[in-house]
Amino acid sequence: MKSSPKYGVLMINLGTPDAPKTPEVRTFLREFLSDKRVVDLNPLIWKPILNLIILTIRPAKVAKVYQQVWMEEGSPLLVLGNRLKNRIAAALENRFDHGIPVEMAMTYGNPSMESAANKLRAAGADKILVVPMYPQFSSTTTAAGYDRLMSSLKKCPHWPALQLIQDYADHPLYIKALANSVRTQWAKQGEQRHLVLSYHGIPKRYVSNGDPYARRCENTSTLVAEALGLSDSEWTHVYQSRFGREEWLKPYADATLKSMPEMGIKRINVISPAFSIDCIETLEEVTLELGDEFKQHGGQAFDYIPALNDSDDQLALYLDLIEQNTQQWTQ
């Protein structure tokens, strides 16, 4: 009898606290900020700073921010990510005779890589396609997720075949989806505004050491501007979410936005292409913090364009990524 192939899809994202409360945020930040992929400082220097300063002060502050954006069903990153996962699973339900099981796992916190990989194995998947929910590869995010996945399989006696997607920064459906979102926003507000593309930053040193993240972000911005037919003066590329004292990728979002009104750019839209799913960084840091700063410095209109989340365009993009990267399994 011909045995049918058993495929599975594992979508991976960063992670989020289990609750918007100080102890849960501390647990999440401890795990996240202890990863050498994220903070590569000498542990003899970093551990005391992390334990004595950051994990003492930051969790209570950040818990308040999570409370501002928390949804009835949980953290936006998890809730909106699950909605996308469910749409993808429904679309793949009729593939082969048994469908293709889909799980989402977080590098830090829950659902863990181990639990998601076990669920896929229990569903019979022996070939797993891993889809990073990070459009632009970075060692701090994508590679950190892959590290965790490999460690989670350490105890697995029968290793599944793995196919790892690097990123999709220049995928035509991703660029089209971002451009569509911008056009939809312009139509809704009845005006085209200066477009700010704001990416989560990383320390500049990581890029100097070979992390391709900045180049991949630039690829995305250039292609989106091209798709929208924007001239150089109609868009700006910046990095947000600086953390710690060392130099991060520039231009910095806050400094750039503060200086825009006096240069005559008073009405803007901000899109954050590095976030496939809205989360604390987009819903609070961009929408509220950057928006307030821009207005305090003379800005007249500021609107954030939501992440692609579980939109039809995002669904089409992920289905295409899955289709393209499993072709060799179905031939």
Ligand X SMILES: C=CC1=C(C)c2cc3[nH]c(cc4nc(cc5[nH]c(cc1n2)c(C)c5CCC(=O)O)C(CCC(=O)O)=C4C)c(C)c3C=C
Contact string 210-229 vs ligand X (x = CB under 6 A): ---x----------------
Q: How many residues can be counted in the chain?
A: 331
Q: How far apart are CA 141 and CA 139, in angstroms?
A: 6
Reading the block at residue 121, the tokens are 């194995």
Contact in structure between 105 and 11 (CB atoms under 8 Å): yes
Tell which positions 67-86 bind ligand X, by CB under 6 A.
75, 77
Q: Binding ligand X by CB under 6 A: which of 9, 11, 260, 274? A: 274
* Nearest one of 35, 213, 50 to 139, comparing CA atoms: 213
**Cβ 33 to Fe ion, closest distance in Å?**
10
Give the interface segment with ligand X, choosing from 99-107, 183-191, 279-287, 309-317 (CB under 6 A): 279-287
Number of other CB atoms surrounding residue 122 within 10 Å: 9
Q: Binding Fe ion by CB under 5 A: which of 198, 241, 309, 314? A: 241
Give the interface segment with Fe ion, choosing from 46-54, 182-190, 233-241, 320-328 (CB under 5 A): 233-241
Reading the block at residue 16, the tokens are 């989020």
Radius of gyration from C-alpha coordinates of the chain: 20
Q: How far apart are CA 104 and CA 30, in angstroms?
A: 22
185 binds Fe ion (CB under 5 A): no
**Cβ 275 to ligand X, closest distance in Å?**
6
**Cβ 40 to ligand X, closest distance in Å?**
9
Q: Choose the one of Fe ion, ligand X, none that binds residue 113, judging by a C-beta under 5 to 8 angstroms depending on kind.
A: none
Give the interface segment with Fe ion, choosing from 182-190, 230-238, 241-249, 304-312 (CB under 5 A): 241-249
38 binds ligand X (CB under 6 A): yes
Q: Binding ligand X by CB under 6 A: which of 20, 26, 50, 140? A: 140
Q: How far apart are CA 121 and CA 225, in angstroms?
A: 42
Contact in structure between 84 and 318 (CB atoms under 8 Å): yes
Contact in structure between 237 and 269 (CB atoms under 8 Å): no
Q: How far apart are CA 173 and CA 154, in angstroms?
A: 35
Give the interface segment with ligand X, choosing from 116-124, 170-178, 275-283, 314-322 (CB under 6 A): 275-283
Is 103 marked within a binding site?
no
Contact in structure between 149 and 130 (CB atoms under 8 Å): yes
Q: How far apart are CA 266 and CA 261, in angstroms?
A: 5
10 binds ligand X (CB under 6 A): no
What's the one-letter identity of residue 103? Answer: E
**Cβ 17 to ligand X, closest distance in Å?**
6
Is 281 marked within a binding site?
yes
# chain residues binding ligand X, by CB under 6 A: 23
**Cβ 228 to ligand X, closest distance in Å?**
23
Q: Which residues pair with 239 in a beta bridge?
A: 199, 252
For ligand X, the binding residues (CB under 6 A) are 14, 16, 29, 33, 38-39, 58, 62, 75, 77, 134, 138, 140-141, 200, 202, 213, 243, 274-275, 279-281
For Fe ion, the binding residues (CB under 5 A) are 241, 285
